[in-house]
Amino acid sequence: MSADKPIRRIAIVGTGVIGASWAALFLAHGLEVIATDPAPNAEENLREYIDNAWPALEQLGLSSGASKERLSFTTKMSDALEGVDLVQENGPERPDFKIKLFADMDALTPETTILASSSSGIPIGISQSSCKHPERCVIGHPFNPPHLIPLVEVVGSERTSSATIERAIAFYASIGKRPIHVRKEVVGHVANRLQAALYREVVYLIEQDVLSVSDADAAVSWGPGLRWGVMGPNLLFHLAGGQGGIHHFMEHLAGPMTTWWKDLGNPEFAPDLKEKIVQGVLAEAGNQSIDELAGERDRLLLGLLGLRGTAK
């Protein structure tokens, strides 16, 4: 694979929420995007999503050549994949579907094309298992919405070449993403595992009537969540150790934290617990629609991203 070949033409396979968000981001960075999805009204929904996302991308700053006119759409995947430099796949989370889809994409693209999957949990080792050129297959898993959240997890398998991983990381970084290299395949990659670990304890505390659904959300978003939007937990615990830093933390505070670990819960999603959380979330949301809540989320994210950009 040529590491020198620039990535300028992107195929989006699957244009649901994640695929549409990726498309908006690529267009905002002046790339050519050709999207494909067999679903009814897929093109209309895609263009509407991009139109709605564009003001936020303008606020973040468009790259030279950025244009929604660089988007084309086809229902024929073979047409979409012709001569592309990278495919960002966003198909259904079913192993059998992914295996066939990757085999088809492998057969339809030049050997230099990166085949990247947005899969949130299916290892690339499974998806690439029927490919003739598995070395160019990689996970490029974003956090929703990809056009705003910088994180992208890059994961290869033993059959993925180091050149593919390096090229994927360099590409995502070039469009403003914050790629991390997940060195081993684990179910759910990394960010979803961290999210699941926290939510397990949130669910346990709600189950045990320690606090309400809304107070659980407040405990995260108005406490550690604010700090996590600035620094990761390891660096924050370096600060928690005072002038002794992480050395002091490990010597004096790691022990108490271990006792908390032993007391963490392991709840099951029983029907009554599910209903308790559903009713709590609906009460917390009040009269705000999904679109209104998403708009508020994105407005605050843009503010935080602006501050972090200034800090750099």
pLDDT tens digits, one per residue of 36-86: 999 999 999 999 999 999 999 999 999 999 999 999 999 999 999 999 999
The Cα–Cα gap between 117 and 99 comes to 11
Within this chain, do residues 246 and 165 fall inside the same structural domain, yes or no? no
Within this chain, do residues 79 and 224 fall inside the same structural domain, yes or no? no
- Boundaries of domain holding 249: 191-311
126 closest CA partner among 91, 162, 100, 146: 100
pLDDT of residue 310: 66
**Which residue, chain included where needed, has tokens 């490990």?**
250
Within this chain, do residues 64 and 177 fall inside the same structural domain, yes or no? yes
- Global confidence as pTM: 0.92
How many C-beta atoms lie closer than 10 Å to residue 202's C-beta? Answer: 18
> Do 17 and 42 meet the contact criterion of CB atoms below 8 Å apart?
no
Within this chain, do residues 48 and 94 fall inside the same structural domain, yes or no? yes
Within this chain, do residues 291 and 167 fall inside the same structural domain, yes or no? no
Q: Is 44 within the bounds of a domain?
A: yes
Residue that is last in its domain, among 149, 164, 182: 182
Q: Is 4 within the bounds of a domain?
A: no
* Rounded CA Rg of the chain: 21
Within this chain, do residues 49 and 153 fall inside the same structural domain, yes or no? yes
Domain total of the chain: 2
- Under the banding of pLDDT at 50, 70 and 90, the label for residue 1 is very low
The Cα–Cα gap between 260 and 35 comes to 48
7 burial class (0-12, 13-18, 19+ CB within 10 angstroms)? buried
